[in-house]
Structure 1
Amino acid sequence: MNGTAVADKFVMKCGGSTLAALPDAFFEDMAALKRRGKLPVIVHGGGPAISETLTKLGIETEFVNGLRKTNEAVLDVVEMVLAGQINKLIVRRIGHAGAQALGLSGLDGNLLVSEPVDNAHEVGLVGRVVEVNAALVEGVAELGYIPVIAPVGIGRDGMQRYNINADTAAGAVASQLGTERLVVVTDVPGIMKTIDGEKKVLPSVTVAEIEAMIAIGEIYGGMIPKVRAAIDCIQGRVREVVIVSGTEPRILSRVLEGEAIGTRIVRE
């Protein structure tokens, strides 16, 4: 995974349900950034939509340590929902905002070469990314399109598919593109902490501090998977992850302009 830094590009990760619920202004800000020469590379998830479709089809699903247990039947639905439904919804919304996007899955052009995770005997066809075809991402960007990547991986044999965690996929893509900072767009303004009886957003926090806050209950409930997902993005060259709310006006522009907004998660 030896890539070169890509100037004027940044990687953004967002859950499929969050992206679908974002206001038009978010995508308009993205289109404005592109016109100014700042091009996002989007890696998206879609867990809730996958679960809903599996339920409709009567296919049982379960999670093991946060990873969806995946067999071929589940994988068919994962690919259909991620690479089809959600990926193309994002492409349409970007197009409606005045920019052009190209939807890709990790299978296309061996974009996300993957191998089984260590506990594959428990979770089945779940993979981790070992190679990213950065040249494909760069080529799409050079043609003027915003790359929108669905995290379905392909094995070295060119046939076996893998269900990839969107956060780890985003971290791998960002690292391969030489990006030190990754933007995670969520439905919360950042990591919250009660200070003097008032909930406030922490401007910066380390991975060790997050684990300590979880242990004593300062981070709890639905926020735990959000911050653990952000931590998963910190790999390779990625040194910090910025968690922001997609409903904030011009949020992407403000992050890239260096405004202290949301929460920065740093390695140490």
Structure 2
Amino acid sequence: MRFVMKCGGSTLAALPDAFFADMAELVKQGRLPIIVHGGGPAISETLTKLGIETEFVNGLRKTNEAVLDVVEMVLAGQINKLIVRRIGHAGARAVGLSGVDAGLLTSEPVENAHEVGLVGRVTDVNAGLIDGVVEMGYVPVIAPIGLGRDGLQRYNINADTAAGAVASQLGTERLVVVTDVPGIMKTVDGEKRVLPVVTVAEIEAMIESGDIYGGMIPKVRAAIDCIQGQVREVVIVSGTEPRILSRVLDGEAVGTRIVRE
């Protein structure tokens, strides 16, 4: 069994060793994750140190070549290898990949490229490369840097969007989004509560009303894009909860499940 997991870079620093131990146990059981990761805060910190200005437009980082150099360095180098090390330390084996490797994530500019620059959307996934890594018993860890069809132009891809594309094209049944929040929150009777299940239509209404905003919008948009073909659901969970991956795969009601209808 395979499942796709997305983990944010800010979440990664807070994940306990127990999270990776749980993942390693799943690998022993033949339940292999395919990980797509982000690294926004680390990218911002490095850009600041280098004196390179950055800004966000509707949750997406405005990217030029200078910013892209830093994005690739931090994601494919620093963050990617940190995840590989932590998985290895927990007793499983992982292989770090960038979307540039063997055309793993073929990409093209997003529709509003005139506003955000070199930000891309995934048009194709080299599923054969992922299958080969998984068949050898390794956990693929993917940094979301895309490559244009010309084989030269790189693109900065939102990690949530990349994870959704990977899950969709691999036909996995479930996408698990590991964050630093327990799920999609909504204020009910003056109290914020986790919604156990939401539909695509409800998400659109919550975006319209402002209940879902900022960086959460790309997460739920990616989830909506992902729910097609064999993908049945997307689950948003907190990575600090005990045995969260095992609990999700065992069908326990944790976090927020996003379903088609």
TM-score surpassing 0.5?
A: yes
Structure-to-structure mapping, 1:165-244, within 5 angstroms: 165-196=158-189, 198-217=191-210, 219=211, 224-226=214-216, 228-235=218-225, 236-237=228-229, 238-244=231-237
Aligned residue type for 1:125: L
Structure 1: state its 5+ residue gaps: 1-7
Count matched residues: 258
1:10 aligns with 2:38: no
| RMSD, aligned α-carbons | 1.6
Distance 2:3 2:202 in 1: 26
- After superposition, residues 46-65 of structure 1 pair within 5 angstroms as 46-65=39-58
**Paired residue secondary structure (2:168):** helix
Measured at CA, do residues 120 and 197 of structure 1 come closer, stay the same or move farther in structure 2, by a change above 3 Å? Answer: closer
> More deviation in 187-196 or 12-21?
187-196
Matches within 5 A, 1:133-148: 133-148=126-141
Identify unmatched segments of 5+ residues in structure 2: none
- Conserved? CA contact 1:63–1:69, under 8 Å: yes
CA deviations 1:87-139 (Å, max 9, x no partner) are 00000110111111100000001000001111212211111100100000010
Which residue is equivalent to 1:155?
148
Q: What CA distance in whole angstroms lies between the structure 2 residues aligned with 1:157 and 1:227?
A: 30
Question: Which residue type is aligned with residue 75 of structure 1?
Answer: L
1:91 alignment counterpart: 84
Q: CA deviation at 1:66?
A: 1.8
Q: Which amino acid in structure 1 is aligned with residue 14 of structure 2?
A: A
Q: For the structure 1 residues 127 and 196, does the alpha-carbon distance in structure 2 shift closer, same or farther, using more than 3 Å as the test?
A: closer
Pick the aligned partner of 1:102 from 95, 116, 123. Answer: 95
Corresponding residue number in structure 2 for 1:5: none
Q: What's the secondary structure of 1:184's corresponding residue? A: strand
Deviations 1:120-170 (A, max 9, x none): 122111111001000000101111110000000011111111101111100
Contact 1:189 1:262 in 2 (8 A): yes
Matched, 1:121 2:114: yes
Using the TM superposition, give the Cα deviation of residue 240 of structure 1 relative to its aligned residue in structure 2, in angstroms.
2.3
Distance in 1 (alpha carbons) for counterparts of 2:145 and 2:207: 30
Give the whole-Å Cα distance in 2 for the aligned partners of 1:193 and 1:259.
Answer: 21
Whichever residue aligns with residue 115 of structure 1, its letter is: E
Q: Pick one of 12, 24, 27 that aligns with 2:17.
A: 24
8 A Cα contact 1:137 1:147, kept in partner: yes
